[in-house]
Amino acid sequence: MILIVYISAALVNSLPVHTFSSINSIVEDVFQISQLNVTLNALLFTIAHPIFAFPWNWVLNKYGIRPGFIAGGVLLIIGVWLRLLLQVGNSTYCLIGSALAAIGNIFILNTPSKVAINWFSAERVPIVTFTGILSTLISLTVGASVPGFLIDSHSTPDDIRKFLFIEACVITVPIVLLIIFFKEKPKNPPSKTAKIIFHE
């Protein structure tokens, strides 16, 4: 169950990274905003990673994976929904959303080995880690390619916002499930004697 919830979240975690990459010029024309503003929506993920990767890893190591997932998941969800506020001539809220999503994305992006070590035996750590990394790569690929198939030069602002809405829904559901159901495995489970004393 833990692995299914985690992999589901990893499969959607990186979808927003390249949303605008394949439709850059279309968004630029339809919303009448500069190429730089459109490109920044993808660049923010690249910029955020080296800045936040180390402190976020420190947070995960100090406070645990679950608090990291809650913080990252909330930021990611808020970010992808803010991107729906993209307006003709105004990309401010969309850029803020991409920035929040970029920061939240790192919490899940950097955890395959941590989840594997926390929950699985040493023999299974390599395959679980690989599965988590593969899910991220699939997420990046789908996120970069799907918009180009659904959005074209005939698309309207409403069409693009509708796509962003669907993307936000697809991302939100697995991330919420991750926040609700992911539990960290106790490092030192109480002994049977302790359980008896506790119940008494």
User: Using one digit for the tens of pLDDT, what is the confidence trace for 42-94?
Assistant: 899 989 988 988 888 888 888 888 888 999 999 999 999 999 999 998 999 99
**CA distance readout (Å), 69 to 5, 13, 14, 29, 58:** 12, 11, 14, 37, 13
Residue 61: CB partners within 8 Å, gap ≥ 6? none
The parts of the chain modelled with pLDDT lower than 70 are 185-200
Give me the pLDDT at residue 186, please.
Answer: 57
Q: Containing domain of residue 117, as a range?
A: 2-199
Give me the pLDDT at residue 64, please.
Answer: 84
Give me the pLDDT at residue 87, please.
Answer: 92
Give me the pLDDT at residue 2, please.
Answer: 79
What CATH number is attached to the domain comprising 79? Answer: 1.20.1250.20
**For residues 160 and 148, what is the distance between their CA atoms, to the nearest angstrom?**
11
**For residues 89 and 110, what is the distance between their CA atoms, to the nearest angstrom?**
35
Number of compact structural domains in the chain: 1
Q: Nearest-5° angle of CA 110, CA 114, CA 118?
A: 155
Give me the pLDDT at residue 185, please.
Answer: 67
**For residues 140 and 55, what is the distance between their CA atoms, to the nearest angstrom?**
23
Give yes or no for a contact between 178 and 111, defined as CB atoms under 8 angstroms apart.
no
Give me the pLDDT at residue 195, please.
Answer: 43
CA dihedral 190, 114, 130, 123 (to 10 degrees): -30
Q: Residue 100 carries which side chain, given as an amino acid letter?
A: L
Measured N-to-C along each axis, helices 35-63 and 24-31 cross at an angle, to the nearest 10 degrees, of 120
Q: By three-state DSSP, how is residue 37 classified?
A: helix
